[in-house]
Amino acid sequence: MSDVLDPVLTADGRGPLPRTRWGSFVGGKWVTPDAAPAFAVLEPATGNHLADVVEADAEVVDQAVRDARRAYEGEWGRLTPRERGGLLRKVAALIREHAEELGELEAREVGKPRRDALRFDVSFSSAGFDYYGGLADTLHGDVLDQGPIEARVHYEPYGVVAAILPFNWPPLHFTKKAAPALAAGNTIVIKPGEQAPLAVLRLVEIVNQILPPGVVNAVSGLAAGPALAGHPGVERITFTGATRTGQAVLRTAAENLTYATMELGGKNALIVLDDADLGTAVDVAVEGMFYNQGEACTSTSRILVHRSLHDEFVGRFVAATAALRVGDGLDPQTDIGAMVDARQQQKVLGYIETAVSEGAKIAYQGQVPVEERLSRGFWVAPTVLTDVRPDHTVAQEEIFGPVASIMVYDTDEEAVGIANGTAYGLTAALITRDHFRASKLARDLQAGMIFVNNYLRRSFLGSPFGGVKGSGFGRENAVETLHEFVRAKNVRFPSGRAPIPVWPPTD
């Protein structure tokens, strides 16, 4: 079968996949041994079988790391930063050529609207390689005058980087790991989320049309993550995913003292202040909560509304939520797609049941598709909860689905206390007409990113992304990210400006 998707779609809007059996991509070629176990990838909207993916065992992971090391010490390591940057920009151009293919593939395996996959995820992927391609030759060291010593500070790549990805934004997460790591001179082994690995695997295959073999590799399957995190040949780990999984990765990495960046979960608060414009508040809340089906660490799943605005806000927010269309991601009219798999679906439904049992009320719950062909999809209707207290389970734990919890408060101090009162600290948002007030509250909020009168996540590239507390450490998507993938070496020469002091002193 051709490795390129046919751009002509079938009658139900679905084009053919590039292959039905996938595996790992190591050293520039597919690794899909017939005897190895495989797992199925299902289409969330229909429950239909999409493809089988062969699991990587420890031997395949070891080979990927060795091939990555060989590429780092070979052709890739001999390139200048400007040459690396030029190749990354060629990668960006090739991703743009395959944008339609990648957008459809992602929509089918994740369940999200193809419209959003194309406009955000795939667009970010090509833009990210362009961005870091342009920065590759800007990462330079320094020379420090220390009297008798001239200290030359060199920034050197780690070598082999392991990147462990979640399922929810596959092209985006692939790029935010791979592009800066490669720009800094490393090679990389990617482990995609097993719920939706196909777009990442296809991207790795596309990238390998430009880059030397072994520079970018991918290993598939649940067991590949721990094997990669614990491999002694991996010198740097970058992880995005659930906090509990990140903690397990860190424990494994600690055996080899492997440095890691962790982009973890979020339980983000949107605070609607008493002077807020309600139209802006509702627009921001709808996007913050329901974009990507709520399957986002940045989801504003806690909406804190001042008591004086609460009832009117709830009415407007429910009306706006009811206007969202739930359906097949390949339908251009769809706003909210299916959950990625049955396990995620049941987890989210369980949170709704728990919320009601703890005293919350369902102010609104939408409808899921009734078409026969979508009857086996993994649907969760957008749900709005009121009477939620700060100690409720839904106010403390990351849900990762289309469930909004509306909470009431009376003072700014109370709102900040509620917002900061979880284990997480990824984002927070403020809706207010008073910029001075927003500036003060932004300093008080314990989060890595604060949004004021907007929740535009589709323009992160170029500004630092990351959290505090249980949301992790390290920053992505920005110039600063390059420094996550290099380490400083201090080389000290006599400066010639003064004699080198000797010890013990002679006088």
Q: Which residues neighbour 97 within 8 Å (Cβ) at sequence distance 6 or greater?
A: none
Q: Decide: helix, strand or coil at residue 335.
A: coil
Type and span of the H or E element at 239 = strand 236-240
Given the DSSP bridges, would you call strands 38-42 and 49-54 parallel, antiparallel or unpaired? antiparallel
Structural contact between residues 293 and 107, judged by C-beta atoms closer than 8 angstroms: no
Of the candidates 297, 398, 476, 484, the residue annotated as catalytic is 297
Of the candidates 106, 109, 263, 295, the residue annotated as catalytic is 263
φ and ψ at residue 253, rounded to 5 degrees: -65, -30
Q: Is 83 a catalytic residue?
A: no
Q: State CA 478 to chain mean position distance.
A: 14
Q: How many CB atoms lie within 10 A of CB 11?
A: 5
Given the DSSP bridges, would you call strands 486-494 and 149-157 parallel, antiparallel or unpaired? antiparallel
Give the Å distances, CA to CA, from 481 to 22, 390, 406: 31, 34, 35
Give the Å distances, CA to CA, from 427 to 180, 235, 289, 344, 433: 23, 29, 12, 23, 20
Of 287, 350, 354, 361, the C-alpha closest to 321 is 287
Of 407, 435, 401, the C-alpha closest to 421 is 407
DSSP 8-state class, residue 103: H
Structural contact between residues 214 and 28, judged by C-beta atoms closer than 8 angstroms: yes
Q: How many CB atoms lie within 10 A of CB 9?
A: 14
Q: Is 156 a catalytic residue?
A: no
Rg (CA), the chain: 24
Give CA angle at 483 (482, 488), nearest 5°: 135
Residue that is written with structure tokens 């004699």 in the block: 499
How many helices (H) and strands (E) the chain has is answered by: 15, 21
In DSSP terms, 162 is beta-bridged to 189, 237
Give the Å distances, CA to CA, from 276 to 268, 430, 451, 469: 19, 9, 14, 28
Of 33, 54, 57, the C-alpha closest to 224 is 57
Of 169, 40, 39, the C-alpha closest to 117 is 169
One-letter identity of residue 366: G
Supply the residues annotated as catalytic. Answer: 263, 297
